[in-house]
A and B are shown apart, each in its own frame.
Chain A
Amino acid sequence: MDLITDAARALIGTRSDWVEACHPVEPSELRRFFQATMDPSPRYRSTAVDGRYGGPVAPPGFPVHAFRRPPSDTKDPLEGMGDPEFDGESRVFRQGLPRMPIPLQGVLNGGYEYEFLSYARPGEAIYCRSVYRDLRQRQGRSGPMVLVVIDDEYAAGAEKRPLLRSTSTTIIR
């Protein structure tokens, strides 16, 4: 059974515009991030006086996880969780990309490939733009799966200083 329809295949190569994270980098979210990743480095802490960066910076992978639900979004993402009727086709992969119509419910992260260019700093706005790079169907142990490959570019500030480039693989199963 081919789960990658023509409509889905037609989205390969679709690019988003720059999408801005709903608020600039906050010291408290950096704290939660480096505590969650058990990172003892002082360069991310608000007390950082490291001359190399001139103050605290965000952990290199932080921008990927900085796109949160904006206060203006009144639709609770937890609403409808566990809905047996959910067919997967309304899933949003990136705020700026169209929905990818893959009719499977489960989703797992397959992995990342990062290229780091600079660190984000507290107070900076973070931007992301994305492109659907590829779709592949595989047969897994528990049934068919579709790999959705997305390239993302992250940047900081109005001048869009490059932060990192990422290729991520999401497994739909």
Chain B
Amino acid sequence: MLKVETREPEERFFEDFSEGQELPTVTKGPMMVGDQVRWAGACDNYESEFHHDEYVAKAQGLPGIILSGPLMASLLMTTVMQWMGRGARLVRFFDQNRGSTMPRDLAHLQGRIRRTYEEAGKAFVELECWITNQRGEITTPGSALVELPRRGR
């Protein structure tokens, strides 16, 4: 039975973040074909055979089965929300599938605060986020803009 721990992200405020701040690395994996199959089931999308059939993947010139880019992006987005805390509102998110995540790869989800600013009475944090594998290759660079509550307001 799949066990998912239900955990509300901690409460964090705009004042808790500063430019250049490194966010705690979250490691997922080793990623397995099962992660991909579960994602395909969640999306009812089984049409890209190279995500679950090694023969097809290699016939298409890929090194083997690769995990879905939108799955990896979703993992990164989930991690951004956990970093930013329960009061955060995700405003924008960007990701690029630059490299492949293959079965048995680790996914290290990392982030750094790029900018903090206020605009029209609202407080925003802009961050860079990315996934690296166990070889240190960046597979999924991204960025996000998050609106955060101010402490004591």
Measuring CB to CB, which residues of chain A are less than 8 angstroms from any residue of chain B?
Answer: 29, 32-43, 45, 59-61, 64-65, 68-69, 77-78, 81-82, 105-116, 142, 173
A109 and B77 contacting across the interface, CB-CB below 8 Å:
no
**Is A113's CB under 8 angstroms from B94's CB?**
yes
Q: Is B4 an interface residue (CB 8 A)?
A: yes
Chain A residues, CB < 8 A from B41: 32, 36
Q: Which chain A positions have C-beta within 8 A of B75?
A: 37-38
Q: Which residues of A contact B48 (CB under 8 A)?
A: 107
Shortest CB distance B121–A (Å): 19
Question: Across the interface, do B42 and A114 meet the contact criterion of CB distance under 8 Å?
Answer: no
Question: Can you spell out 18 A-B residue pairs with CB atoms less than 8 angstroms apart?
Answer: A32-B41, A35-B38, A37-B71, A37-B77, A39-B78, A40-B5, A41-B81, A43-B8, A45-B6, A60-B90, A69-B44, A78-B46, A78-B47, A110-B97, A111-B96, A112-B70, A112-B93, A114-B92
Known: A82-B49, A111-B96, A142-B61. A36 touches B4 (CB 8 A): no
Within 8 Å by CB of A65, from B35, B46, B49, B70, lies B70
Given known contacts A116-B92, A116-B93, A109 and B60 CB-to-CB distance under 8 angstroms = no
B47 surroundings in chain A (CB, below 8 A): 77-78, 81
* B95 contacts partner chain A, Cβ-Cβ < 8 Å: yes
Residues of B within 8 A of A (CB): 2, 4-9, 28, 35, 38-39, 41-50, 56, 60-61, 68-71, 73-75, 77-78, 81-82, 86, 89-97
- In the complex, the answer to whether B94 meets A81 with C-beta atoms within 8 Å is no
Residue of A nearest to B50 (CB): A106
Across the interface, which residues of A come within 8 angstroms of B28, CB to CB? 38
- Within 8 Å CB of B56, what residues of A? 82
Contact indicator A110/B69 (Cβ below 8 Å)? yes
B7 contacts A109, C-beta separation under 8 Å: no
Q: Which residues of A contact B61 (CB under 8 A)?
A: 106, 142, 173
Task: Give the nearest-CB partner of B74 in chain A.
Answer: A37
Q: Which residues of B contact A36 (CB under 8 A)?
A: 35, 38-39, 41-43, 71, 74
- A36 and B71 CA atoms in complex are apart in Å by 8
Verify B71–A35 contact, CB threshold 8 A. Answer: no
Sample of 5 more A-B contacts, CB < 8 Å, known A37-B71, A78-B47, A111-B69: A36-B43, A37-B74, A82-B49, A109-B70, A111-B96
Decide: A111 and B42 in contact? CB cutoff 8 A: no
Query: Is A38 a contact of B4 with CB atoms below 8 Å?
Result: yes
* Contact between A29 and B42, CB atoms less than 8 A apart: yes
A38: chain B residues at CB < 8 Å are 4, 28, 75, 78
Q: Is the CB of B73 within 8 A of A32?
A: no
- Complex: how many Å from CA A108 to CA B140? 14
A65 → chain B, closest Cβ, in Å?
4
Partner of B95, one of A40, A45, A112: A112
Alpha-carbon distance A156/B61, docked complex (angstroms): 40
Complex Cα–Cα for A41 and B82 (A):
8
A33 adjacent to B96 (CB under 8 Å): no
- Report the bound CA distance from A111 to B72 in whole Å: 10
User: What is the CA–CA distance of A60 and B47 in the complex, to the nearest angstrom?
Assistant: 24
